[in-house]
Amino acid sequence: MQGMQLEFVVKKTNQQQSYLAISMTGNVMQKQVVNKDKGYAEEQGQHIDLSGSELEEALNDSNIFAEIGLDPSSVKASITDVNVVATYELAVSVTKSFFYNQEKFLKIKISETQEVKGNEVTQETLLGDYRAVDGILFPHKTTKSLGPQAVDFITQSIELNGPIDAMDFN
């Protein structure tokens, strides 16, 4: 970003705990921590406790795989195309959909609509370059739409069942 490399460190457990830190040149610029029933975000030295829908969304996102926390009765399925690829669309909420390649059954897109300054803005995330890690396929390239720009995020490594410091979730 702006000629600088961003580093994302994400840690998740099967206990609805997650840790996200975004660093540039070794300095943590942004951090979010979720621990079962509470969470907070830090940005530029400001600590903000998460509550209401923000906390609920953060808890859902803390699942190792987003699909784990879905309520099947609230998911609506349909068939559509994404860049001429036949997909299954799962509308997992009023504002969020997951798209899966019909042939490979891999998630290739996430679409989420949010209200920003009174306007609805749809952010798309494209997933690709799937590689196996301990027998599980993970996307290693993520392209996010940020307004008129698209930013590529390349995953350097994924470690499963590695050591995690419990203090990361406090």
Domain boundaries, the chain: 1-64, 66-161
User: What does pTM read for this prediction?
Assistant: 0.86
Distance between CA atoms of 61 and 55, rounded to whole angstroms? 10
Distance between CA atoms of 89 and 107, rounded to whole angstroms? 10
Average pLDDT of the chain is 92
Helix (H, G, I), strand (E, B) or coil at 94: coil
The proportion of the chain whose per-residue pLDDT surpasses 70, expressed as a percent, equals 99
Query: 29 with 41: CB under 8 angstroms?
Result: no
Q: List pLDDT tens digits, range 45-92.
A: 899 999 998 898 888 889 889 898 888 999 999 999 999 999 999 999
Pairing between strand 46-49 and 38-43?
antiparallel
Q: List pLDDT tens digits, range 104-122.
A: 999 999 999 988 888 888 9
Distance between CA atoms of 130 and 52, rounded to whole angstroms? 34
Distance between CA atoms of 25 and 169, rounded to whole angstroms? 23
Residue 144 has pLDDT above 90, yes or no: yes
**More confident site: 41 or 61:** 41
Residue 5 has pLDDT above 90, yes or no: no
Amino acid at 121: V
The proportion of the chain whose per-residue pLDDT surpasses 90, expressed as a percent, equals 65
Amino acid at 54: E
